[in-house]
Amino acid sequence: MKAPPLGAFAAPNGEPHMPGPIQRLPRPMRTFAPGEEVDYVVVGVGAGGGVLTQRLARAGFRVIAFDAGPFWDTERDWVSDEQGAHDLYWNEMRITGGDHPLAFGANNSGKGVGGSTVHWASFTPRLHPSDFRIHSNDGVGVDWPIAYDDLRPYYELIERELPVAGPAYYPWGDPHNYPYAPHPLGGVGDALVRGCTNLGIGVVAGGPVAILSGSRADRPHCIYRGFCIQGCKVGAKASTLITHVPDAIANGAEIRANCMVGRIELGVDGRARGVTYFDPAGRERFQPAKAVVVAGYSIETPRLLLNSACSGFENGLANSSDCVGRYLMAQAGNVVLGRFEQPVRMYKAPPAHALTEAFYETDPRRDFARGFAIQTVGPLPIAFAKQMMTAKGAWGWGLRQVMMDYNHWAAFGFLGELLPNAANRVQLAEERDRHGLPVAKITFRLFDNDKKLIAFGKQKTIDVMGAAGAQEVVQEARYAHLVGAARMGSDPRTSVVDGFGRTHDIDNLFVCDGSIMPTQGSANPGLTIMALAARCADYLIAQGASIFTSSRRDTQAPPVRRDLSPPDTAGHGMPRLRSWRSTAPSR
């Protein structure tokens, strides 16, 4: 049987723009007139910008959200092919250096509506309560200006909005349950569960991942095809493109795709008055706004702030602390690969589907602070070949030979917390992009605690792979998940934004993405970025018009707006069980 009975699957027709096989965008999208002042301009429609835009629009604000990349029509634009997914990633130039330079490309930020959430593997663990106080607890890094309990209601909201599939009892950090059931395991998850269980290490199977295990409204459930990080054509994996942007449009937000914001413009009063951007044809245009929110990723956010330097802010906007671009963090992301006698076929099932956070917290018996997680990954052939190139030094006939064993290998990702350091930073390079804007130059190196943590965690991951039954285990060094570079803090001398994302220097300029994270834990940051964005939105909504005119800084936490979730959030999935952790309500 070579073709389905009704012939090959044809291209969709009729629908002008499809964000999924059965999902439809609200039409028409509102468009603001050229030069018409809006309440908010949001720069970047990714994890942070997508959630923020949706909430601001739902609360009745006039919002334009810019993205440098396209507004994806997933049925027509995306392919079920590793090489063909190249355009999902931020492919514009960045210069990377330092003792341990980071690799970019497919590794991190996205370009297009949905940002990196279109190609994340969508592991969505929460941070632990201890992550917010690592300086107080362990004397390393810095404390957050907010506590876990400030973020917890937003974790709960976002876990329901995406929604997140995971175990009925998640034992680490603040124990909790998930609204959707865990996913079935693939071969890699089997190996992780077997390895951990054999060593007596706790492990959870089937999540937490923002992938539907049961269909919800206009999104089908996962079909286990394994192309998560090539863009989920199924619409099962959550991305703000399909979870929050449609609702933003339904509530009157304009998404201005293929528009690269080049500068934030200040007025004579020292307040942001809008942004200068390059329209799809490359023409420079100005968009006035009463307030500006930057949500462009830990590289492009500091780059935009630095590129917006002007009289009075010669070192870049909001950079009186000299912290813009500093304290950039990546997580150690070593990949440990094991060869098994029996075939594994790790290309099946989502790469993200089982993990352990048993080593997450600081252990006084170890010679380093903080910890790490071990997760499943599922490299497709090209990624696997690259790993064999570095992990085994394979080339030539050896590469051909080991690649013929592709189906026998399983891969784990070690995810370790690296501590913030001022020397790890984003600066501007001499080189310019196609718009004439200086590109970012990233400098990164590991410090003592980082190296000890990596050495320990790498070995532990290798042990688990061995305990799972692998005959041969190799590993390659990698990094993942960039955050920081515009960190939040209470002290304007050592941080860029306050606990709500408002820059210390400019009253109506906000940052709302992973760059505001002062430390990173060893949890994948996507969920935390979204939770921070939802909290930032509640703050902006509670403050109302005073954001646009006043310089008064209200540090009162806003009420949690549970009524701003996208439709189809309520009435789907399992009820939330009470938090196992006994804490006072956040307010």
Partner 1 sequence: MAGHDSGLNEDGDRAATQQIEPPFAPPTARLERNFALADRDIREGRFQRWLALIAGASSALSGLEVTYEHYRGGYSRRIMYTPLVLSSALAASGVAAFVSPRAAKTLLPFVSVMTLADCGIGFYFHVRGIARKPGGWRLPITNMVMGPPVFAPLLFGTSAYLGLIASFLRRSDSPGNGALPLPTHSAHWAHAFVHGHEPIDWRQDLREGRFGGQMALAAAISAALSGFEAWYSHYKNNFRYGVQWTPVVIAPLMSVTALVATRSVRVAHAGLPIVSALAVANGSIGFAYHVRGVLRRPGGARKLVYNIIYGPPIFAPLLFAASGFFGLLASLLRRRRQ
Partner 2 sequence: MTMLPRTIEMRPVDPQTGAPVGPLAQPGYYPDFHTLDQQSYWDAKTRAVVIDRVDNVPPIRFFNGQQARTLTAICDRILPQDDRDEAHRIPIVPQIDRRLFEDIGDGYRYEGMPPDPEAFTLGIEAIEQIAQAMHGRDFASLGPPDQEHILRSLHDGTPGAAHDIWLRLPVERFWTLLVTDCVSAYYAHPYAWDEIGFGGPAYPRAYMRLENGEPEPWESEEQRYAWNPPRWSVSGAFEPVGGKEEQPASPSQGGMH
Q: Which of 134, 253, 415, 464 binds partner 2 (CB under 8 A)?
A: 415
Q: Does 234 sit near partner 1 (CB under 8 A)?
A: yes
**Residue 328 interacts with which of partner 2, partner 1, none, CB < 5 to 8 Å by class:** none
Q: Which of 15, 21, 265, 469 binds partner 2 (CB under 8 A)?
A: 21
Nearest CA to 479 out of 91, 100, 222, 214 is that of: 100
Q: Which of 72, 120, 148, 327 binds partner 2 (CB under 8 A)?
A: 120
CA distance 98 to 234: 40
Q: Does 96 sit near partner 2 (CB under 8 A)?
A: yes
* Minimum distance, C-beta of residue 354 to partner 1, in the bound complex (Å): 9
The answer to whether 290 touches 548, Cβ cutoff 8 Å, is: yes
Q: Does 233 sit near partner 1 (CB under 8 A)?
A: yes
Q: Does 94 sit near partner 2 (CB under 8 A)?
A: yes
Q: Does 315 sit near partner 2 (CB under 8 A)?
A: no
Instruction: Please measure the distance between the N-terminal and C-terminal CA atoms of the chain and give it in whole angstroms.
Output: 62
Q: Does 167 sit near partner 1 (CB under 8 A)?
A: yes
Q: Which of 138, 143, 322, 476 binds partner 2 (CB under 8 A)?
A: 476
Q: Does 520 sit near partner 1 (CB under 8 A)?
A: no
Q: Does 221 sit near partner 1 (CB under 8 A)?
A: yes
β-pairing, 479-483 vs 95-97, is: unpaired
Which pair of structure tokens corresponds to residue 406? 């592709």
* Minimum distance, C-beta of residue 194 to partner 2, in the bound complex (Å): 11
Binding mask 6-25 for partner 1 (x = CB under 8 A): x--x-----------xx---
H or E stretch covering 528 = helix 526-543
168-187 residues in contact with partner 1 (CB under 8 A) are 168, 179-182, 184-185
Q: Does 119 sit near partner 2 (CB under 8 A)?
A: yes
H or E stretch covering 339 = strand 335-339
CA distance 352 to 379: 11
Q: Does 410 sit near partner 1 (CB under 8 A)?
A: no
Nearest CA to 290 out of 36, 503, 54 is that of: 36
The answer to whether 235 touches 22, Cβ cutoff 8 Å, is: yes
123-182 residues in contact with partner 2 (CB under 8 A) are 123
Q: Does 108 sit near partner 2 (CB under 8 A)?
A: yes
* Minimum distance, C-beta of residue 307 to partner 2, in the bound complex (Å): 18
Q: Which stretch binds partner 1 (CB under 8 A): 161-169, 301-309, 458-466, 472-480?
A: 161-169
CA distance 54 to 63: 9
Q: Does 234 sit near partner 2 (CB under 8 A)?
A: yes
122 backbone φψ class: left, alpha, beta (φ>0; ψ -120 to 50): left
- Spatial neighbors of 477 by CB under 8 A, at least 6 apart, are 332, 334, 390, 454
CA distance 152 to 554: 21
**Residue 215 interacts with which of partner 2, partner 1, none, CB < 5 to 8 Å by class:** partner 1
CA angle 325, 418, 424 (to 5 degrees): 25
- Interacting residue ranges for partner 1, rule: CB under 8 A: 4-6, 9, 21-22, 163, 165, 167-168, 179-182, 184-185, 189-191, 193-194, 197, 203, 205-206, 212-216, 220-221, 223-224, 233-234, 571-574
